[in-house]
Chains A and B, each alone.
Chain A
Amino acid sequence: MNLRENEAKVLIALRDLGGKATIESLTKTTRLADAAVMRAALSLEAKNLIRVSERSVTKFSLNEEGRRYAEDKLPERQLVEMLIKMGGEASVDDVFRAASMDSGLATIALGWLIRKGWARMESRERRIRVLGNPEIGSDERLLSMLKVAGSLILENLDDSLKEAFKTLKGRKLLIVREESTKEFELTDEGWALLNRGIEIVEEVTQLTPELIVTGKWREKKILKYDIEAPAPRVWPGKKHPYLRFLDEVREKLVALGFKEMNGPIVEISFFNCDGLYMPQDHPAREIHDMYLIKDPEYGDLSPYMAFLERVKETHENGWKTGSKGWGYKFSLLMAARLILRSHTTSVSVRTLISDDLEIPGKYFAIARCYRPELMDRTHLSEFNQVEGIVVGEDLTLRDLLGILERFAIDIAGADKVKFRPDYFPFTEPSVELSAYKEGYGWMEFGGSGIFRPEVTLPLGIDVPVLAWGLGVDRLFMMRAGINDIRYLFTHDLDWLRGKEMI
């Protein structure tokens, strides 16, 4: 029978491995690539020399908690070691303290300690006593094997380790995946052929420059490939899916005539609050919490003195804005307090006082904002907002609603929109945008409004300014079908690699 070079190699390797092997051991023995082994094996199967079967295996590795235990030992081990160190007997509270465990972990450790029979609890006195010399259990052995190997295949383990797998899995320390692997076995015909003896005939698998230049390729037979055999997987470099979405949003806003603007992350309160007519000691200042800078606490407002004076007067008595003002004593120091930008509106304030401001003009920014919130499915302490302002004579509430509608439908892909009255200290009227998308229902997207005269006039702007600031993170979640906002900043490389681009 005429065998190709790789086929012969695989056949011989299979014999050397006892007639039955997995693809992993074959690639190791033959030093051929996965795909090459597969190709050879499939043609050997066609020639009835081997049988290829698929076997599903359970592959598992440690999760974060598991890795921690692999590093620090299981909590019950830590506890029993501490107990031995303390003379083999101690009160529960003392040993917990000595092992410096929090109460949650301590309870777990104690439970296992008793369950494994390493110690006995004198429950009346709340004392524990070590029983004998606690041996290293199979669960601990498996833990250290995993620490070294990274991942293991369940089916390859002996029975005691299989038991240990169940224990660790039950303790939620493992990441378990079902995978399928190919297995190859020599048929009787295969054995017979090997027993008759086979020789390895050299063949051209790879066309080389030499063969081309010398023209020798004409004399050789180039190996036939199984073009359906799987190829090795490659991970292309890709944009982060969320950042790609932000690129799209930028593109669309530019197409709608918006110019990009920018501002600093560490902000002076003046730009984030006071310039926006947010009173200094009033619930309206606290529409959300802000991060304060530790050192230095205050920035330098001297370059903005002209604006600052007018803003101060506006807060105190309305200045020339036609307003009564808030009617309190404005603190220049408080306006100089350094914070982390809590909304992108600070960027709009900077744009409005910029010499480059064009009227009429449309501006936008997509920027990171910061609020001291505990992170959960819907909150991040660091998130992105998309902010826009439209400055021009004759702009009205109708135009504001027009922009919101366009944004929700064109950019977020919503089906319809709804407006609700809202409150911000810096806009009047203020409008909240809700958008509806089939399959998602109604979703709040953020706030908008016309800047109050108390905001624009002190900044030297005497035409209407329409402003909107929307939670762009939510837009993306709607688009990408993500329901946990923390995924935007995920550390999960598998997800980033595997996320489809469509």
Chain B
Amino acid sequence: MPTIEVEREDLELLLGMKLPESIEEIDEILSFIKGEAKHIDEKEIHIDVKDSNRADIWGVEGIARALKGILGIERGLKRYSVVGGSGVTVYVDPRLRDIRPYIACAVVRDVNLSDAAIRHIMRFQDKMDQTYGRGRRRTSIGLYDFDLVKPPLRYTVSKPDEISFVPLGFEQEMTLAEILEKHPKGIEYGHIVRQFDVWPIFIDSRGKVLSFPPIINSNDLGRVTIETRNILVEVTGTSYKTVLYTLTNITLALADRGGKIYSAIINYPYEDLGEVITPNLETEKICVNINYVRKIIGMPLGIDEIIDLLERSRYGVSEIVGDDIVVEIPCYRPDVMHPIDVVEDIAIAYDLNKIKPRWPQISTIGGLLPESRLRSLIRELMIGLGYQEVLTFTLTNKTVLFEKMNIPPERVIEVANPKVLSMTCLRSWLLPSLMELLSHNTHVEYPQRIFEVGYCVLPDEKQPNRARDVEKLACVTIHSEASFSEIKSALDALLSNLGLKYRLEETVHGSFIEGRVGKIIVGGLEEVGLIGEINPQVLENWGLENPAAAFEIDLSKIWKLIKIK
């Protein structure tokens, strides 16, 4: 979700009207373009744009374009056109095919950018590079003073030490390799090209470097100031569609500030791609059925009303054929993939808060999963036995699960990108979570008796997701006289109330005292858990000074046994 900072005065200039003062009123207006006013001061408005698929409104020009419709300042499709050819041809080197194959260019003439406008264009460019361009990997944008450039241009490759030029913000010439080494942008984005033997370079007919895409522009040609009148816009990248769309977006932003758009010819050497003219500002059409609109929104909208709402959403209405409206989609809206996208815009322009909520007129029978009913029974029994229910995280770490519990580590499900060292894997058993909780409560009045019913997750190669969720119950009693017989009484009460017969089988387990630990066998066969007195080593590991006894049961096995009965 991109956050966009716009200057109030600049936005008002683009809109041609004053905005309200209060953040609430501005927020209200912005809600119609899925924006939220996060912060507002005398100069700036900070907007969270929720729609991560509408790059056209990640800049102030696009926001103004959309708001003009909502506010009724301008309606219908805003038509952009290419005034003519710029005379620029770009020759693409076939060696770029596997490096950074695509480029698109446009020239915008007669611009007269204020400082604020330049700042905004730069911010928009950066927002596009970061999000849509995936940190310049997929696309990156370059702007140049066209009057300093001598076409035709070549988008070609260079060895790291072959070409040198003065990068933006520096005074001395550097080779491409040096730029990756020393220039802040080289350090930041160098990883995109470093893996290749030759790197992309964009040069003019005199061999003057325009830029080293996607790293940095030249300090001579690639600098736009308030004096710049004619701008060459270039986008390079790995995705053809995204390159074209990014060019459209940045070109339109300049056009909204009074520029006139001229096209360039891109000469590709690839088998499937020859000569292409960019930018492509053609609109597409989509057929939206009136009944579909009504069926989705659930309101009896009239056709004139729908047309009005479409125009306020800045669509064009080409013609009406029976119940179908042929809608013209602006060239900057590739997010419109399906008629449903148009329907949403109609609903938004109508105002969601004007739609009357209705409880669905379908009759269904509700119900809980069988596990949920059984889980309630078990919790009820544990509470009846005087145990306090607790709730802990399923994410934990191996120290808690194994080391502190005095047992050898087992395979557990680990995450590849942990955020903190205490949360690196999913728990495979529940008792450690309870011991951890007790360790934070040594100052609290004893006896302490706690339990949790919670999920543990175990690796399981047989499952498509290679894991199995296992719901478990663990309980601990800890106080100066806690003993095996106390916890066994609890287990006894629990299982007999579930109608299950069980026996204990002696076993050895590092977390429990030898000779005071048993496997819980239910129905003669199935091992469902462990019961015992906690090993003093484990108590010491957790900083506990009272004896404790505990049991842990695999409830997924209990569910099955109860179902069988």
- Which residues in A have some Cβ–Cβ distance to B below 8 Å? 61, 64, 67, 150-151, 175, 233, 235-240, 242-243, 247, 250, 253-262, 264-268, 281-284, 286-287, 291-297, 299-304, 318, 321-328, 338, 340, 358, 360-362, 368, 370, 372-375, 381-382, 390, 392, 394-399, 401-406, 418-423, 425, 428-431, 450, 452-454, 464, 466, 488-489, 491-494, 496-497
Find the A residue at minimum CB distance from B2.
A283
What is the bound-complex CA distance between A254 and B372, given in angstroms? 12
What is the bound-complex CA distance between A119 and B280, given in angstroms? 76
Known: A268-B464, A395-B360, A491-B440. A243 touches B298 (CB 8 A): no
Q: Is the CB of A429 within 8 A of B347?
A: yes
Nearest-Cβ distance from residue A357 to partner chain B, whole angstroms:
12
Nearest-Cβ distance from residue A256 to partner chain B, whole angstroms:
7
Residues of B close to A423: CB separation below 8 A: 34, 50-54
Known: A418-B353, A454-B338. A268 touches B364 (CB 8 A): no
Q: Is the CB of A250 within 8 A of B31?
A: no
Nearest-Cβ distance from residue B409 to partner chain A, whole angstroms:
14
Q: Is the CB of B391 within 8 A of A489?
A: yes
Known: A421-B34, A421-B352, A423-B50. A250 touches B372 (CB 8 A): yes
Known: A260-B367, A265-B467. A284 touches B53 (CB 8 A): yes
Find the B residue at minimum CB distance from A177.
B443
- A328 partner, pick from B239, B441, B467, beta carbons under 8 A: B239
Q: For the complex, is B521 an interface residue (Cβ under 8 Å from A)?
A: no
Residues 411-443 of B, flagged 1 when their CB comes within 8 A of A and 0 if not, give: 001111111100100100000000011001111
Q: For the complex, is B253 an interface residue (Cβ under 8 Å from A)?
A: no
Give the contact stretch, choosing among B142-150, B255-263, B380-388, B503-511: B380-388
Q: Is the CB of A493 within 8 A of B343?
A: no
Known: A150-B443, A428-B344, A489-B393. A238 touches B388 (CB 8 A): yes
Q: Is the CB of B364 within 8 A of A258?
A: yes
Additional 11 contacts, C-beta under 8 A, given A266-B465, A430-B344: A284-B53, A300-B465, A324-B338, A326-B337, A338-B467, A362-B362, A396-B297, A397-B355, A399-B298, A401-B357, A452-B338
Residues of A close to B415: CB separation below 8 A: 291-294, 340, 372
Q: Is the CB of B297 within 8 A of A397?
A: yes
Q: For the complex, is B38 an interface residue (Cβ under 8 Å from A)?
A: no
Q: For the complex, is B341 an interface residue (Cβ under 8 Å from A)?
A: yes
Beta-carbon contacts under 8 Å, B339-391 to A: 339-341, 343-344, 347-348, 352-353, 355-369, 371-372, 376, 379, 382-391
Q: Is the CB of A453 within 8 A of B298?
A: no
Q: Is the CB of A454 within 8 A of B337?
A: yes
Nearest-Cβ distance from residue A257 to partner chain B, whole angstroms:
4
What is the bound-complex CA distance between A488 and B393, given in angstroms? 10
Residues of A close to B543: CB separation below 8 A: 67
Q: Is the CB of A361 within 8 A of B416?
A: no
Nearest-Cβ distance from residue A483 to partner chain B, whole angstroms:
18
Residues of A close to B382: CB separation below 8 A: 237
Residues of A close to B496: CB separation below 8 A: none
What is the bound-complex CA distance between A295 and B347, given in angstroms? 45
Residues 127-166 of B, flagged 1 when their CB comes within 8 A of A and 0 if not, give: 0000110100010000000000000000000000000000
Residues of B close to A420: CB separation below 8 A: 31, 352
Q: Is the CB of B298 within 8 A of A254?
A: no
Q: Is the CB of A322 within 8 A of B464?
A: no
What is the bound-complex CA distance between A430 and B387, given in angstroms? 44
Residues of B close to A266: CB separation below 8 A: 413, 426, 457, 465-467, 469
Offer 21 A-B interface pairs, CB within 8 angstroms, sorted by A. Answer: A237-B388, A264-B465, A268-B464, A284-B53, A293-B415, A297-B416, A301-B464, A328-B241, A338-B465, A340-B426, A360-B363, A381-B395, A398-B298, A398-B299, A398-B358, A399-B359, A401-B355, A422-B34, A428-B340, A493-B448, A496-B388
Which 10 pairs, one residue from A and one from B, show the smallest C-beta to C-beta distance?
A396-B298, A398-B298, A266-B467, A254-B366, A401-B357, A323-B338, A429-B344, A237-B383, A360-B362, A423-B51
Nearest-Cβ distance from residue A473 to partner chain B, whole angstroms:
11
- B31 partner, pick from A239, A260, A421, beta carbons under 8 A: A421
Residues of B close to A264: CB separation below 8 A: 463, 465, 467-469
Residues of A close to B418: CB separation below 8 A: 291, 372
Q: Is the CB of A281 within 8 A of B469?
A: no
Q: For the complex, is B485 an interface residue (Cβ under 8 Å from A)?
A: no
Q: For the complex, is B525 an interface residue (Cβ under 8 Å from A)?
A: no
Q: Is the CB of A255 within 8 A of B383?
A: no
What is the bound-complex CA distance between A489 and B371, given in angstroms? 23
Residues of B close to A370: CB separation below 8 A: 395
Nearest-Cβ distance from residue B73 to partner chain A, whole angstroms:
20
Q: For the complex, is B394 an interface residue (Cβ under 8 Å from A)?
A: yes
Nearest-Cβ distance from residue B455 to partner chain A, whole angstroms:
6
What is the bound-complex CA distance between A416 and B359, given in angstroms? 16
Residues of A close to B298: CB separation below 8 A: 396-399
Residues of A close to B318: CB separation below 8 A: none
Known: A240-B391, A390-B362, A399-B358. A321 touches B465 (CB 8 A): no
What is the bound-complex CA distance between A247 and B420, given in angstroms? 31
Find the A residue at minimum CB distance from B457.
A265
Beta-carbon contacts under 8 Å, B199-247 to A: 239, 241
Known: A237-B449, A381-B423. A491 touches B364 (CB 8 A): no
What is the bound-complex CA distance between A375 and B385, given in angstroms? 34
Nearest-Cβ distance from residue B203 to partner chain A, whole angstroms:
30
Nearest-Cβ distance from residue A375 to partner chain B, whole angstroms:
8
Find the A residue at minimum CB distance from B448.
A493
- A398 partner, pick from B51, B340, B357, beta carbons under 8 A: B357
- B464 partner, pick from A303, A399, A422, A489, beta carbons under 8 A: A303
- B444 partner, pick from A295, A403, A493, beta carbons under 8 A: A493
Residues 286-305 of B, flagged 1 when their CB comes within 8 A of A and 0 if not, give: 00000000011111000000
Q: For the complex, is B103 an interface residue (Cβ under 8 Å from A)?
A: no
Q: Is the CB of A404 within 8 A of B357?
A: yes
Q: For the complex, is B315 an interface residue (Cβ under 8 Å from A)?
A: no
What is the bound-complex CA distance between A373 and B379, given in angstroms? 31
- B465 partner, pick from A67, A250, A299, A497, beta carbons under 8 A: A299
Residues of A close to B138: CB separation below 8 A: 281
Residues of B close to A404: CB separation below 8 A: 357
Q: Is the CB of B465 within 8 A of A238?
A: no
Residues of A close to B295: CB separation below 8 A: 394, 396
What is the bound-complex CA distance between A454 and B340, given in angstroms? 10
Residues of B close to A61: CB separation below 8 A: 443
Known: A295-B414, A493-B448. A397 touches B385 (CB 8 A): no
Nearest-Cβ distance from residue B555 to partner chain A, whole angstroms:
14
Q: For the complex, is B32 an interface residue (Cβ under 8 Å from A)?
A: yes
Q: Is the CB of B338 within 8 A of A405?
A: no
Q: Is the CB of B466 within 8 A of A338?
A: yes
- B360 partner, pick from A326, A373, A399, beta carbons under 8 A: A399
What is the bound-complex CA distance between A453 and B161, given in angstroms? 52
Q: Is the CB of B356 within 8 A of A398?
A: yes
Interface centre among B347, B358, B387, B448 (most CB of A within 10 A): B358
What is the bound-complex CA distance between A257 and B365, given in angstroms? 5
- A292 partner, pick from B369, B416, B448, beta carbons under 8 A: B416
Q: For the complex, is B392 an interface residue (Cβ under 8 Å from A)?
A: yes
Residues of B close to A326: CB separation below 8 A: 337
Beta-carbon contacts under 8 Å, B262-300 to A: 295-299
Known: A61-B443, A150-B443. A428 touches B355 (CB 8 A): no
Q: For the complex, is B1 an interface residue (Cβ under 8 Å from A)?
A: yes
What is the bound-complex CA distance between A496 and B365, given in angstroms? 35
Q: For the complex, is B252 an interface residue (Cβ under 8 Å from A)?
A: no
What is the bound-complex CA distance between A497 and B449, given in angstroms? 11
- A239 partner, pick from B299, B356, B371, B389, beta carbons under 8 A: B389
Residues of B close to A394: CB separation below 8 A: 295, 361
Residues of A close to B352: CB separation below 8 A: 397, 401, 419-421, 429, 431
What is the bound-complex CA distance between A304 and B455, given in angstroms? 25
Q: For the complex, is B450 an interface residue (Cβ under 8 Å from A)?
A: yes
What is the bound-complex CA distance between A283 and B129, given in angstroms? 11
Known: A260-B372, A291-B417. A397 touches B347 (CB 8 A): yes
Q: Is the CB of A236 within 8 A of B386?
A: yes
